[in-house]
Chain A
Amino acid sequence: MAHPALRLSFPATLLTLAAATLTATAGAQDKDSPDKFEGNPSVTSHWPRGAQRGTTVEVEFTGTRLGDPRGVVCLTTPAITCSKVSASPPSANPPPRPGNPPPSTAVATLLIAPDCPSGQHVIRLLTSNGVADIATFWIGSLPEVVEQEHANNSKTDLNGTRGQAEPVPLDRTVNGTLNGMEPDTFRIDLKQGQLFTAELEATRLRSTPREDGFQPGLEITDAAGKILASGSDHPLFLTDPFLSLAAPADGPLFVAIRPVLPPENTSRRIPYRLHLGSFQRPDGVYPAGGNPGTALAAELQGLPDGQNPRVTIPLPPSGPDFPWQASPGTPSPNLLRLLAGPNVLETEPNETPEQATAVPAGPLPFACNGRVATTGDTDHFRFTAKKDERLQFRAFAQALGSPLDLKLGITRASDSSKTERADDSNDEQLGLFDSGTVREKLDPVLLFTAPADGEYLLAVSESQGSTAPQNIYRIEATAADSGFISTLQPLDRNTRLLRNAVSIARGNRVNATFSARPLPGTTPAGEYILTATGLPAGVTLLSEPFTLPAARIPVLFEASPDAAPAIAAVTIGIQSRDGQTTYPDTLRHTIPLAQLGNDATQFVTVDRLAVAVCDPAPFKLTVAPAHGPLMKNGELELEVSLDRAPGFDEPLDILLETPPKGIIGAQGVTLTGDQKSIGFRLAADTNATPGQYPVILTARNKSGDNRTGAGKIYTASNLVPVEIADPYLKIKFARARIERGMQTTVTATLERLRDLPGKATATLIRLPRGVTHKGEPVAVGPDNTLTFTVSSTQDALVGTYQGMACEISVESNGGHLRQIAGSGPIRVDPSRQANP
């Protein structure tokens, strides 16, 4: 992310621009031979990892199945657009592993608008077959150069020592790679006293889980080799360092980037972006926010020579996040927050409730700003609240790059016996979904309802003994956040990489599953549907109504046969079913960037979904309407038919990816190459709730990578409503026993709960081993009694068995509905003729 604290977002005013930022290149050609159906593409690396704003840059994507690229979309800003994309000649090195598709590359020309926000952005490449893995792309303000060692693809170290240092003009961003763990050294010529900052983006650049991490160190030395500054991490960027100093003399300084801790696999080249400039690099701004549209008098922290310059920062009219650049060349911005209402600065001393800094009385919101300077320091603020007023206190410290682990406590000024506390926060409080590890969760959020009119004390303290003077914080008190949020659910819990974009084959459908819930300040009422804004032309979204919160909402995207290939950054909204209320921008989609062992460790949260139209898929799935209802504890078979492209005979899995509650789809249903149709069985729980439910089936080719989705082709069926109904019959068995080697009858009485739609027959099921139902299924007649003939083999297992049941098959609309009914014991006795 541009800054660890920033959720990637772009202003709503630019929304319309975001919708179709695709530039399609060579006219899309329909696939005509089966070997072209190669499935979803995969991007494993790209270069360069960033660019200067206001420039045009060629980005090379490397991966598999990239031979027919169609466009690039940026999910985080409309200021990055793609003007051209083309396949580049396949590289002979490295050769593909046996059984793997050959590596391929695509080159995209990206235009970076001059007003593009600096920091991390997320881009995705579209090919004729689908949307590739996300890639992060970093925008800076300085002109870019490429490290010579990298440019020459040198196997040997060219700039490992000061003597070999590569000269770089001041105010440049170096795109380089560390090779074989040799240091890279650069020479900058400076004037005495000149401000010089080296800021590294290295661990932050990790873009795919396959990229291994390492611990970079930066070192600035003078011509004599004296170390002037060094570091390997900083709270502002965690594991990426920056160094700032005033040049001690006229002449060169040397900046070395070296891994202090190598990655597990040292054979890969590890990319970095090193910003070398005269820019200011504050590690904090105090106060970290103010009223929108005003001028903020602030103090910058962490600049060389220990002085904290005071600056005036013009704040924009709208917020709440304002990524502020201290100087035009500063690569990563500092986060400032915009909030109306009093912007209170702590007045030391405020260690005790009596010394509390007062917040002017008035309506919400307000913000309290302070620093935790010594161990055990507790800052107090005094505010007033009305009885039953709900206040949301949200702390900002880690979100600002401050190392504080804050704790909040709220006490009534007149009664200190009861304190409401918060130490951390969670996804729900932060308005996120499954966001993984984010440092913002160390910043507490406290929802507080005032028990009475009066004065209250807010106590702010630190729990980890982190007390450097730059430890700034900001607490915002607002009404609870309102609205709804949604996310795209991974269809496989084990891999969030799988299908985190929507690729729709032209003239076909694809399904997706969303979750949605209200924010703490909103109470949902009635039914809602999902909406999408900015879909590529010809694409529609079908969303069945749901109530909130909803864990799994199945939706269907459909692309018309004449839709043009396109990729768009789409907004997902939530709208009441009556259309009265709409929340247009609800998506909070977290995608992992890096993996460590079993855990994803680095994430990006975006509020746009990549939706693309691809070339036609080699198969299309259709499900016929259900013959009748699915009875509780019963089964229903859906007729699935498949339209295959000529020559495509790969086996296909048919899945129910988002089963409605109470419904279980058949497992392991596969259509072989010569099959055109198959029955897909649904089963309902005994406890399922009667009602109408949407069912969408998915067809998926067998080949490809089940973990990453590379090489996979997905299409969805039409949506069929399935009704879960109460059963037709209730069955009660009489006591049953059978002797080994004999034949006997089992009788049951039935109770009709509803009228049968057609003829019904009954068969005994779940009989013990060696015992079988003999003869044809028994017709359900008018007399409410069923008589079954069963026989037993000589080696049937002796004993009493529970769970004998009856399967009722009912004719309905030309099909059969199945209901399981009754449950009773049957006893198997030893043969009386047998020898003792």
Chain B
Amino acid sequence: MRPLPLLFLLPFSASAALKVYPDRVTLTGPQSRQALVVQHIAGDGRTTDVTANVKVQSPAPVQWDAATGLLAPTGDGSGEAVIQWENEQATLTVTTTGFAQARTPSFRLDVEPVLMRAGCNTGSCHGSGRGQDGFRLSLFGYDPAGDFFRLTREMIGRRVDLEVPTQSLVLEKSIGAVPHTGGTLFKPDSDYYRVLHDWIAAGARDDAPDTPLATGIRIFPDKIEVRASVTAPAHHRTLVMAEYSDGSLRDVTRLALFLSNNDSTATIGKDGTVTAGASGGAHVFARFDKFTAGTEVIVLPDRTDFTWPDLKPANPIDEAVFARLRQLQIAPSAPADDASFLRRVTLDLTGLPPSPEQLTGFLTDAAPDKRNHAIDRLLATEAFTDLWTMKWAEILQVKVNNQNADTGRSRQPVWKYYQWLRAQIAANRPFNELVRDLIRAEGSNTANPPANYYTSANGNIRTPMERAEDTAQLFLGTRIQCAQCHNHPFDRWTMDDYYGFTAFFKGVSQKKGASATEVFIFNRPGQTTVDHPVDGRAVSPRFLGGEQPDLKGGDPRHFLADWLTAPGNDTFARTLANRAWFHFFGRGVIEPVDDGRISNPPSNEKLLAILADHLRAARFDIRSLIRTICQSQTYQLSSTANETNASDDRNFSRSYVRRLQAEVILDTLAAVTGTPNSFSGQMPGTRATQIFDGGADRDYFLKTFGSSKRETVCTAEVRMEPTLTQALHLINGNVVDGAIQRSPVLTELMKQKPTAEAGVIALYQRALSRHPTAYELARFMESARSLPEGDQAALRKFFDDTLWALINTTEFAFNH
């Protein structure tokens, strides 16, 4: 791992009650400024921004402007400043130097940040691949050398005018003095204008080779915790400090860009001021150079009568979730009743509903740990293996492509790939080993099915870039695609990172195998570098966010596989754990599960750490993690919301109602009616979750309900949105009606000669895994009153209609 920047080691705290950010100020040159943020922390942890009301007394020659919150030098000197607010005080070391001589702005340190802050180099402006109105900048400044060339050399005397700097087009456009599609970006009296002007006036020179580079940024304060208020929303300033390769620190607040990941809870203005909104948790981020940093904002409800319900944590998962809920003053829902629990866990673990016998047995079981027993029983089923194989088959794109045998995605190898994957999951193979097999895979894709990891479902031969992107997204939960062309705007990945990671796959090649439908995957020795598109430099393999391995002539993928799946690779464990969590809540701790980035932090960091630790401690035994998740109180909470958690959608304060996956609905329909489905090209008796190559292309029902097309590594390929077509298909389509007409379950029910009431209760138990409510039963009995006495055909019709109605309830297609 890269060494932690100095910035993160600095102590920034002085007084428990009054905190000053930063705790040390160095001002170099007459124009330098340093923002201060002074925060008061109350006994209950709530914070108040008191910057505007502090007094600053400093032995060093500085001037404090409380309105702007800026310290400015008035001469050279140093000393301990005292910051005073009401009766609290804190200290701060202040040093001012070089006051006598103004510093010439640097292109990389000053000019490029202004262009970024003003939005000049965004994709919609000059950062677009073709530039804008004839002028192009590298997107988000990934190529400073190129930007320097285009500003100063591409049209000499036009963009920068050394003779009359104010007539430089870059200045005139920025202030709107000449027509500019991008509008007026700043005023002539702004610092931004001054920086550009002074740089041009000084000869618009490029930086010296030893110019220090930014190595990281940090946003302060560390935490903001305020109470929501509709009438007087709380405001809180933030401050962004950058560290440079020479060890210097600099206030870049006015050059940074800001964003929030939850605008309803906290917005952040262009100046970095946070405004609290509705109660909840949010993260606000600052972006400067190629770095993004965030800090947490907690907005408490505007009521003070919060009490924690009588709910004990069952395991560390609950401890983490409950701690977060307490912090946000959200009360979790009550635990779910037994029937709801059994239906939920059975659907989640097997993709099938509990049978009426299982339901009755469970409800009448008096054992205190019957829920744990149920979880263990379900984890041991073949259906669990089928369901989890399907989940991984979706993102590993286990899909047949018959159009072109050369691609190696014919039925035979794809079927073998599926069988291999299923065998791994059935045998509870540690997931890190499974992933290692995939990444290291070579040879025949039929004799060694993991080699299919490198064949492509879309029919084309994959590029090293696609292979790298997919691997990062699948197993590191990271989307590095942006960094192919420019530094990632919301994450830390640069083009160097991207091409370093791509280089692991440079040598991966494929050729026709012995049989027509077989391909051989192999690594071309010596092909271990990719060319950097900006400067053509050969980039060697480097782990994402990590070291450069010494390949010693070996296959780079072996090094990658070992690094990626090592227990020490936190990102890998967190990604797998988060993917597992997602299955049970319909939402990851990081959401989306494959888009982990600095600007998308986990909604509960502690929870994700516990899940990842558990997975590691269990040696990547996925069943063990799932067992622990299912045993948690958090998983077993009711889906009924209370006053405090109705709007919570990310802290797991209740069971979120989730639509069942397409395959699960279809299998549930078959289980409830007893009418099996059949699918073309599959063995007789195959359930929807067992279709080895995915059902989206072969079954209208599955396609309509959003079955994954298995064409990308995105989890989002499984569509869960309810649509009108789905509703109409259930109501009018032949699937439900046909299944009911042919239903052996109804035939069996009729043989038992039940009363209408007994039949309705039995169908409720079968379809919805619960007893009807008194109201529901009464309504059904109302319509049963018109049944002719002893007319079995009419009774059967009544049961048909009852089951049809139950299948068409929202409840049927949802897990709750």
Contact = CB atoms under 8 A, between A and B. Distances in A.
B443 A437 contact: no
Contact of A596 (B444, B517, B520, B683): B517
Contacts of B522: 463-464
Contact of A442 (B514, B682, B683): B514
B520 A181 contact: no
B683 A233 contact: no
Interface stretch (A41-49, A511-519, A597-605): A597-605
A262 B683 CA distance: 6
A466 B447 contact: yes
Closest 5 CB pairs of A and B: A601-B516, A597-B403, A439-B514, A464-B443, A597-B402
Interface string B373-386: 00000000000000
Contact of B681 (A266, A437, A439): A266
B684 interface: yes
A215 B412 contact: yes
A398 interface: yes
Given A463-B522, A598-B404, A261 B415 contact: yes
B410 A596 contact: yes
Interface string A242-278: 0000000000000000011111111000000000000
B406 interface: yes
B154 to A, nearest CB: 37
Nearest to B451: A464
Contacts of B402: 264, 596-597
Interface size for chain B: under 10, 10 to 19, 20 to 34, or 35 or more residues? 20 to 34
B512 A598 contact: no
Interface of A: 180-182, 213, 215, 233, 235, 238-239, 259-266, 398, 403, 405, 424, 436-437, 439, 441-442, 463-466, 594, 596-599, 601-602
A735 B684 CA distance: 80
A596 B405 contact: yes
25 contacts: A180-B684, A181-B684, A215-B411, A233-B446, A235-B447, A259-B683, A260-B415, A403-B447, A437-B512, A439-B515, A442-B512, A442-B513, A463-B522, A464-B443, A465-B442, A465-B443, A465-B448, A466-B443, A466-B447, A596-B402, A596-B405, A597-B402, A599-B404, A599-B516, A601-B405
B680 interface: yes
A464 B520 contact: yes
A233 B449 CA distance: 14
Contact of A424 (B443, B448, B511): B511
Nearest to B525: A463
Nearest to A258: B683
A485 B112 CA distance: 68
B412 A437 contact: no
Nearest to B402: A597
Interface centre among A266, A597, A601, A602 (most CB of B within 10 A): A597
A321 B174 CA distance: 82
A464 B509 CA distance: 12
Nearest to B522: A463
A181 B411 CA distance: 16
B276 to A, nearest CB: 59
Interface centre among B411, B415, B516, B522 (most CB of A within 10 A): B516
B405 A238 contact: no
Contact of A464 (B415, B442, B681): B442
A598 B415 contact: no
Contacts of B401: 597
Contacts of B448: 465
Contacts of A263: 681
A725 B617 CA distance: 86
Nearest to A259: B683
Contacts of B684: 180-182
Contacts of A261: 411-412, 415
Given A239-B412, A437-B405, A601-B405, A398 B514 contact: yes
A441 B680 CA distance: 35
Contacts of B682: 262
A599 B512 CA distance: 13
Contacts of B405: 437, 596-597, 599, 601
Interface string B433-450: 000000000111011100
Contacts of A439: 513-515
B681 A264 contact: yes
A599 B515 CA distance: 13
Contacts of A235: 447, 514
Interface centre among B412, B446, B680 (most CB of A within 10 A): B412
A441 B443 CA distance: 16
Nearest to B512: A437
Interface string B678-705: 0011111000000000000000000000
Given A464-B444, A598-B404, A266 B680 contact: yes
Contact of A238 (B411, B515, B680): B515
A265 B520 CA distance: 28
B680 A264 contact: yes
B444 to A, nearest CB: 6
B720 to A, nearest CB: 29
A597 B412 CA distance: 14
Interface string B654-689: 000000000000000000000000001111100000
Nearest to A239: B515
A437 B520 contact: no
Contacts of B443: 464-466
Contact of B516 (A403, A437, A442, A465): A437
Contacts of A238: 514-515, 518
Nearest to A398: B514
Contacts of B512: 437, 441-442
A466 B444 contact: yes
B447 A405 contact: no
Contacts of A594: 516
Interface in B382-422: 401-406, 410-412, 415
Contacts of A265: 680-681
Interface string B503-545: 0000000011111111010100000000000000000000000
A591 to B, nearest CB: 15
Contacts of A601: 405, 410, 516-517
A266 B681 CA distance: 6
Given A262-B682, A597-B402, 12 more contacts: A215-B415, A233-B446, A262-B683, A264-B680, A464-B442, A465-B442, A465-B448, A596-B517, A597-B404, A599-B404, A601-B405, A601-B517
A464 B410 CA distance: 20
Nearest to B411: A261
A465 B515 CA distance: 17
Contacts of A598: 403-404
A551 B558 CA distance: 47
A211 to B, nearest CB: 14
Given A233-B446, A463-B522, A403 B514 contact: yes
A408 to B, nearest CB: 16
A465 B440 CA distance: 12
A464 to B, nearest CB: 4
A282 to B, nearest CB: 19
A83 to B, nearest CB: 36
A405 B443 CA distance: 9
Contacts of B511: 424
A596 B681 contact: no
Contacts of A597: 401-405
B62 to A, nearest CB: 69
Contacts of A437: 405, 512, 515-516
A403 B520 CA distance: 12
Contacts of B444: 403, 464, 466
Nearest to A261: B415
Contacts of A424: 511
A436 B512 CA distance: 11
A259 B686 CA distance: 14
A602 B415 contact: no
B747 to A, nearest CB: 22
A809 to B, nearest CB: 50
